[in-house]
Amino acid sequence: MHGAANLPPAVTPLLSVEGLHSGYGRIPILGGVTLAVGKGEFVGILGHNGMGKSTLLRTLMGYLPATAGTVSLAGRPITALAPTERARAGLGYVPQGREIFPGLSVHENLRMGCLLGGAREAERIAEILELFPRLKAYLDRPGGALSGGEQQLLALARCLCGAPRIVLLDEPTEGIQPSIIEEIIDTLQLIGRERGITVLLVEQNLNFIASLSRRILILKKGVITGEVPPEVARNRAMIDEFVGMD
């Protein structure tokens, strides 16, 4: 399956992945992932637990080395770059579990996100806070004192402070109350409309992934096995058939 062939017509590839292999030690997880994400696209990845979704994002970000295959950002090979270099090139990453700095204040967390952004820090943070008004009241509060949903908003805001070209989002709704899930959907849709942000999203929440994704890729046993439109993701029976849930 060739990812570039699945891009909608006239969409320029921003992220291109060809034959990507990766794993943990001698345990292979990714067995040749090929995909492409166009500039301004929201693309979802759906699959069972243990199929390699988080491993894929960690490999794209450089936290796990690729054992074969290539990763390119806007036509530039980044397969051999360290995570910090990938971030400077425009890759943003919000990991599963959020991984904010719990002992730092909300404002300090956002400052950490600005280290690679290039823009003036105060202006950048003020701009991002307009997208996350809920965080304005918590700027002096430790990140660890926020609810799970508020921490997810902070993790996303911190990522955007780095001015990424594409955001890799790993299970952003895990353990989060429904009201905040809807707020995250609204915020990401707003960012997509106003900023043309590109997102590669790993998620199990079918409504969430269907609400945001232009198309959804199915990952089974470390390879992309198919692609479905978002309306299919709202149908649990059809998704069970595609993903192979028992």
* Average pLDDT over all residues of the chain: 89
Q: pLDDT tens digit string along 83-128?
A: 999 999 999 999 988 889 999 999 999 999 998 766 689 999 999 9
- 218, pLDDT greater than 90: yes
Kindly report the CATH number assigned to the domain that includes residue 60: 3.40.50.300
pTM of the prediction? 0.90
pLDDT attached to residue 118: 64
Q: In DSSP terms, which residues pair with 217 in a beta bridge?
A: 45, 227
In a domain, 146, yes or no: no
- 222, pLDDT greater than 80: yes
In a domain, 14, yes or no: yes
The residue among 204, 166, 186 whose CA lies nearest residue 45 is 204
- 177, pLDDT greater than 80: yes
- 245, pLDDT greater than 60: no
Query: What's the whole-number mean pLDDT along residues 10-19?
Result: 86
Compute φ and ψ for 116, nearest 5 degrees: -105, 5
Confidence at 3, pLDDT banded by 50, 70, 90 = very low
Q: Lowest-pLDDT range, 7-16, 128-137, 213-222?
A: 7-16
Considering the chain, what percentage of its residues have pLDDT values greater than 90? Answer: 74
Q: pLDDT tens digit string along 53-70?
A: 999 999 999 999 999 999
In a domain, 235, yes or no: yes
Domain that holds residue 28: 3-90+165-243
Q: Lowest-pLDDT range, 48-52, 83-87, 112-116, 178-182?
A: 48-52
- 2, pLDDT greater than 60: no
Give the number of domains in the chain: 1
What is the full DSSP assignment across 94-156? Answer: E-TT----TTSBHHHHHHHHGGGT-S-HHHHHHHHHTT-GGGGGGTTSBGGGS-HHHHHHHHH
Question: What is the DSSP-derived secondary structure letter of residue 8?
Answer: P
In a domain, 131, yes or no: no
Confidence at 243, pLDDT banded by 50, 70, 90 = low
